[in-house]
């Protein structure tokens, strides 16, 4: 298996992926806490370091890049200073800004995290969650139509910030299938499952899967194997060919009409799970586009997730670190 994964990583190199979804800035203020504020019963963080990183769907694009693929990022930003910072970070991370649509009526999403002693103290969000306008939606779909012939696979990454409407999602799936390209969806628990109807693969985590399934708490309480029931319901309702449910330290469960299996986790000491789902969907899509079967793709994705949870904050999976991790585990 080790050699198969190493060969797969070589095949991933250069695979082009169209990535669509909400983007934003992840901002970090890191420091130490040694006292409580005299103004209110809250900790005082003495700032030692500040950092800005690609957030939300842009982190998927960053992962595709560091794993050896080429991301074509399609999303919406505002006309503000945060958008300029975001563009600079894209350039720094080897991701093109050419496919972004500017909406002057929306702010660029920012998430500011205050961290002390490797623990998050508070998060401050700057965002507008309403759906994008029909005009912006049309621009995105027109761009998708032009880009589709040049990619191997499509990732639809939904953070429920307004980019992924039902019209956008169904339009993107239709365009992809017209060009015989698969669509992999990382869903939001806040988005109705019918938005993703007809996708090739859907990858919720355990909590998202339970909520998306619509199965009542009482019914689940009487179910011996919850994940099997939930996975089957999601596949049936979404008409997806494949369902992968991630379960943290338990690994992930795969469902299709033909088979079902579990892939164990390969996580080391966990410092921060932020962005692990982005890494998983990136690795899955790249592996699939490079010709891997789903057991190989899921195994690679679990190793990649094991790498990123060993870091603090939202980081992408570097291919050299991943190769070393596979070698030593």
- Position 38 in a domain: no
Q: For the chain, 329 residues long, give each residue's pLDDT as a single digit of tens.
A: 788 888 999 999 999 999 999 999 999 999 999 999 999 999 999 999 999 999 999 999 999 999 999 999 999 999 999 999 999 999 999 999 999 999 999 999 999 999 998 888 999 999 999 999 999 999 999 999 999 999 999 999 999 999 999 999 999 999 999 999 999 999 999 999 999 999 999 999 999 999 999 998 888 877 778 899 999 999 999 999 999 999 888 889 999 999 999 988 765 655 445 668 899 999 999 999 999 999 999 999 999 988 887 775 667 888 888 988 888 87
In a domain, 116, yes or no: no
Helix 226-238 / helix 206-213 crossing angle, nearest 10 deg:
60
**Would you say residue 235 lies in a domain?**
yes
Angle at 104 between CA 103 and CA 108, to 5 degrees: 70
- How many domains is the chain built from? 1
Which residues are the active-site residues?
278
Residue 212 lies in a domain: yes
Q: What's the domain range around 92?
A: 2-22+57-105+128-328
Does 259 reside within a domain? yes
Cα separation, 25 vs 27, in Å, equals 6
From the list 308, 323, 237, the residue with the least C-alpha distance to 274 is 308
Q: What angle do CA 174, 179, 183 make, to 5 degrees?
A: 55
What is the CATH classification number for the domain harbouring 285? 3.40.1190.20
Tokens 């759906």: give the residue.
131
Report how far residue 95's alpha carbon sits from residue 75's, in angstroms, rounded to the nearest whole number: 13
List % helix, strand, coil for the chain (3-state, nearest 5).
40, 25, 35
Helix (H) or strand (E) holding 226: helix 226-238
Residue 34 lies in a domain: no
Q: What is the DSSP letter of 13?
A: T
- Tens of pLDDT along 171-228? 999 999 999 999 999 999 999 999 999 999 999 999 999 999 999 888 887 777 889 9
Structure tokens at 25: 């800035």
Is 237 a member of any domain? yes
Q: Which tokens in the block code for residue 220?
A: 């689940």
Tokens at residue 185, please?
A: 């969806």
Asked if residue 14 is part of any domain, the answer here is yes
């Amino acid at each position: 298996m080790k050699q198969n994964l190493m060969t797969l990583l070589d095949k991933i190199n250069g695979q082009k992926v169209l990535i669509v979804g909400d983007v934003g800035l992840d901002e970090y203020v890191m420091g130490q806490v040694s006292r409580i504020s005299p103004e209110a019963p809250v900790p005082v963080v003495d700032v030692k370091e500040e950092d800005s990183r690609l957030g939300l769907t842009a982190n998927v694009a960053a992962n595709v890049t560091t794993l050896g693929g080429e991301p074509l990022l399609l999303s919406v930003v505002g006309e503000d200073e945060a958008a300029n910072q975001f563009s600079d970070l894209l350039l720094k991370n080897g991701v093109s800004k050419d496919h972004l649509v500017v909406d002057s009526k929306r702010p660029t999403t920012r998430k500011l995290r205050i961290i002390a002693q490797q623990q998050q103290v508070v998060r401050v969000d700057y965002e507008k969650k309403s759906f994008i306008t029909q005009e912006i939606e049309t621009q995105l779909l027109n761009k998708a139509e032009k880009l589709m012939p040049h990619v191997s696979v499509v990732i639809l990454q939904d953070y429920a910030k307004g980019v992924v409407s039902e019209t956008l999602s169904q339009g993107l799936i239709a365009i992809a299938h017209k060009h015989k390209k698969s669509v992999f969806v990382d869903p939001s628990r806040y988005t109705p499952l019918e938005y993703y109807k007809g996708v090739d693969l859907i990858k919720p985590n355990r909590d998202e899967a339970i909520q998306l399934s619509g199965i009542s708490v009482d019914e689940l309480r009487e179910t011996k194997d919850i994940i099997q029931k939930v996975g089957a319901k999601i596949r049936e309702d979404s008409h997806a060919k494949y369902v992968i449910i991630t379960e943290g330290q338990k690994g992930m469960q795969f469902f299709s009409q033909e088979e079902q299996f579990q892939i164990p986790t390969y996580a080391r000491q966990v410092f921060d799970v932020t962005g692990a789902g982005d890494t998983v969907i990136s690795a899955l899509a790249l592996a699939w586009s490079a010709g891997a079967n789903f057991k190989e793709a899921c195994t690679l994705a679990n190793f990649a997730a094991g790498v990123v949870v060993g870091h603090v904050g939202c980081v992408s999976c570097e291919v050299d670190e991943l190769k070393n991790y596979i070698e030593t585990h």
